[in-house]
Structure 1
Amino acid sequence: MRTLYFDCFSGISGDMVIGALIDAGADPLQMEEELKKLNIDEEYSLSWGKVVKNGITSTKFDVILTSKSEQPHEHSHNHGNEHSHSHGHEHSHNHGNEHSHNHGHKHSHNHGNEHSHSHGNEHNHSHETEPNHSHAPHNHHGSRTYKQIVEAINEANLNESVTNMSLAIFKKIGEAEGHIHGLPLDKVHFHEVGAVDSIIDIIGAAILIDQLGIESVQSSAIPTGSGHIHIDHGVYPVPAPATLEILKGVPIASNVIRSELATPTGAAIAAVLAEKFGTLPAMTVESIGYGAGTKTFENHPNVLRIIIGEIQ
């Protein structure tokens, strides 16, 4: 049985999942085409490329919201240890205090110590952000409801497997948000999780898992990190309330890193798709992928590893 194992030694987020799947050999261009069925492609562009995280070459995936998007920008800008070059037919977006230099082939430079190379003819935007769900203040005008997201998925004419995976993951997050805020599912507004980038992360992950012919999913225990984060409603402990609610019944691993390691989207992908949680199962390994997070830790590679192979 073709099995995917999430090795979450540094947590899990939606963008890390997609980065790891691409790194393991999935086709991001086919994903990009499938995502157009949602009819929101004017609101975003996609970027992927190689970065090195504490000595591990991995793939960084980003969703960049365009000016046409009415979704709230949930991107916290990171002007630290990242250095990114994008080559291709692309548009270079300059947000905030980043310095963007365009010479000839439109190279976007973020000065720091990480190197990312993205090659291709797709519209590639290189833009470093914090993980997609950085709990920025939400905007109800720009948010999407659970009901709207379900309708968009059902109308997108995606294949049955992708549709079912995507709906199950959104339902898991919607139920958690509803429980925390005391709302029925159809009244839930996806502020932190409803931005375009999160919709792309969830449906994109489902597309790539389906594309790779995965028949079963297993996962390690999920480290959530520690410390505190700022969300719409104030300062909360890590894991955030929605993440903890989503991880009910899922083994949580202890971790001393003072940062949010598991986002609601990443937690929901693992909680919904994994049939078992534990150590790496006995398998014949076929491919391995590393998906980079944006945060950089001094002695710890911030990557998600996925292992794909056959279980007899």
Structure 2
Amino acid sequence: MSRILFLESVAGVAGDMFAASFVDAGLVSVAELLDLPRQLALEGVQIDITRPTKATMRTTHINVGWKNESWKKPLAAFDHTHGGRQAAGHSHANITHPSAAEHWHTHYSELDRFLGASALDDVTKTFARKVFRLIAEAEAEAHGVTIEDVAFHEVGAVDSIVDVVMAAFCVAKVGASKVYATPVKIGRGLIKIEHGTQPVPPPASARLMVGMSVARVPEAITRENVELSTPTGLAIIKALTPEFVNSAPAGVVQAQGMGAGTMDLGTFPNVFRVTVLDDSGAAARAALPFETDEVVEICCNVDDETSERTAWTVEQLLELGALDAWVTPAVGKKGRVAMCLSVLAEPARWQELADWLLRSSSTFGLRHRRWDRLKLARRFETRDTAQGPVRYKVGLTTDGKVLKEKAEFEDLRAIWKKGPAVK
């Protein structure tokens, strides 16, 4: 079974929301998560799991706390430079601490060694360390310090550690072959954090967002100042390197769950949703001796452009990287003669081509859909002929059986230019 992981930032993402969605979907058990503090040797840490209702929908919420401060001891064992750092150079990650009395912290380098020495399985351990590395890099860049000087203080440290490890365990347990995600909702306005009043996204989150697709705050969320996605949540998504999409991928849904945040957003559900799909079509396609991939088809109807302009549009789309582009005659509204312009694009390129098409053609809108594709394996050969060298495109199965071949048009055109009788 080829598993697909589809992540939806319904109302943003945080580490606890991410892990809670997997519990809600039944992808991991409560007992498995409750055992993680033991694997980390974090005594006194407790994980509370509840089933709140958000905007009439049943969800799952996870809260990480501690009964006493004994959880600090294993982290302190990895502090090889305690007392040797200058506090003024620290960047304190994640959450504001309420008083100077709670100004305990652990640095990124110590945390990384702690995770590396833990009893976690290798996949969980590697992913958790990757997430914290991303957070540390973002914090260091945001505050002008080295990664080694990035510190996680008391209120932020233990829940961030457990949140990230829970998320890493969930990712490892599912073992998805492909990850898709909707654009992440960040928030808006201003918030107060340890470093003072900051715009949303705050500095570390802003750096984690680089390269990620983001979305506006839904109109149904009326709060003016709201942070929907935390640095921890953003780092988890970034570490997964998903393909960002606006709709669910094709497949058979195996499980779906929603993890709840703590904010009350009124009629809008403060949740993060996970869906696991079985790409059953992939297994069927794999049984055939052909190559497979996915493409996005973009279509629009045009009834007010000249044929010359439309031909130029097709030419430009191909130069911009479209896999193919073509025009189909049609009859539009009010009996007008029209053309349906279609474009095939790689999934990573379709948005760029759609943007160009909306800006450069007369259409006011377009359609797009994702297709699974079967295709022949291809190779190119140059053969000597009576008219000179000619390149051939050869189509064959993945096990090497030649099914068809075709001479390249440009080479044929060069031959035909020698005279109409030449074939």
Matches within 5 A, 1:1-312: 1-25=2-26, 26-42=28-44, 44-68=45-69, 134-137=95-98, 141-191=103-153, 194-255=156-217, 257=221, 258=224, 259-279=226-246, 280-311=248-279, 312=282
Give 3-state SS (helix, strand or coil) of 2:52's partner: strand
1:234 corresponds to which letter in structure 2?
Answer: G
1:265 corresponds to which letter in structure 2?
Answer: T
Cα deviations across residues 73-116 of structure 1 (Å, max 9, x unaligned)? xxxxxxxxxxxxxxxxxxxxxxxxxxxxxxxxxxxxxxxxxxxx
Give 3-state SS (helix, strand or coil) of 1:235's partner: strand
Cα deviations across residues 260-299 of structure 1 (Å, max 9, x unaligned)? 1000000110111133111222221110000011101122
Q: Percent identity?
A: 31
Would the aligned equivalents of 2:105 and 2:151 in 1 still touch at CA under 8 Å? Answer: yes
Would the aligned equivalents of 2:49 and 2:61 in 1 still touch at CA under 8 Å? Answer: yes
How far 1:240 moved relative to its partner? 1.3
1:17 corresponds to which letter in structure 2?
Answer: F
In 1: Cα distance, 2:211 partner to 2:278 partner: 26
In 1: Cα distance, 2:118 partner to 2:67 partner: 21
1:28 corresponds to which letter in structure 2?
Answer: V
Would the aligned equivalents of 1:135 and 1:192 in 2 still touch at CA under 8 Å? Answer: no
Give 3-state SS (helix, strand or coil) of 2:160's partner: helix
How far 1:208 moved relative to its partner? 2.0
Would the aligned equivalents of 2:189 and 2:199 in 1 still touch at CA under 8 Å? Answer: yes
In 2: Cα distance, 1:159 partner to 1:286 partner: 25
Cα deviations across residues 196-252 of structure 1 (Å, max 9, x unaligned)? 001000011111221233333221111111111111111011111111111111011
Larger Rg: 2
In 2: Cα distance, 1:41 partner to 1:206 partner: 20
In 1: Cα distance, 2:160 partner to 2:8 partner: 21
Would the aligned equivalents of 1:2 and 1:216 in 2 still touch at CA under 8 Å? Answer: yes
In 2: Cα distance, 1:197 partner to 1:271 partner: 19
TM-score, normalisation: structure 1: 0.75
TM-score, normalisation: structure 2: 0.56
Would the aligned equivalents of 1:137 and 1:232 in 2 still touch at CA under 8 Å? Answer: no
In 2: Cα distance, 1:298 partner to 1:241 partner: 28
1:16 corresponds to which letter in structure 2?
Answer: M
How far 1:49 moved relative to its partner? 1.8
How far 1:194 moved relative to its partner? 4.5
Structure 2, unpaired ranges of 5+: 73-92, 283-423
CA RMSD of aligned residues (A): 2.1
Q: Which has the higher helix share?
A: 2
Would the aligned equivalents of 1:5 and 1:306 in 2 still touch at CA under 8 Å? Answer: yes
In 2: Cα distance, 1:205 partner to 1:231 partner: 24
In 1: Cα distance, 2:57 partner to 2:39 partner: 34
1:272 corresponds to which letter in structure 2?
Answer: A
Would the aligned equivalents of 1:246 and 1:267 in 2 still touch at CA under 8 Å? Answer: yes
How far 1:153 moved relative to its partner? 0.7
Would the aligned equivalents of 1:225 and 1:239 in 2 still touch at CA under 8 Å? Answer: yes
In 2: Cα distance, 1:153 partner to 1:166 partner: 8
How far 1:38 moved relative to its partner? 1.3
Give 3-state SS (helix, strand or coil) of 2:38's partner: helix
How far 1:69 moved relative to its partner? 5.7
Corresponding residue of 1:86: none
In 1: Cα distance, 2:94 partner to 2:185 partner: 17
In 2: Cα distance, 1:178 partner to 1:188 partner: 6
Corresponding residue of 1:79: none
How far 1:37 moved relative to its partner? 1.8
Would the aligned equivalents of 2:6 and 2:181 in 1 still touch at CA under 8 Å? Answer: yes
How far 1:28 moved relative to its partner? 2.2
Corresponding residue of 2:382: none
Which has the higher relative contact order, 1 or 2, with Cα contacts under 8 A spaced 6 or more apart? Answer: 1
Give 3-state SS (helix, strand or coil) of 2:69's partner: coil
In 2: Cα distance, 1:289 partner to 1:169 partner: 22
Q: Which has the higher strand share?
A: 2
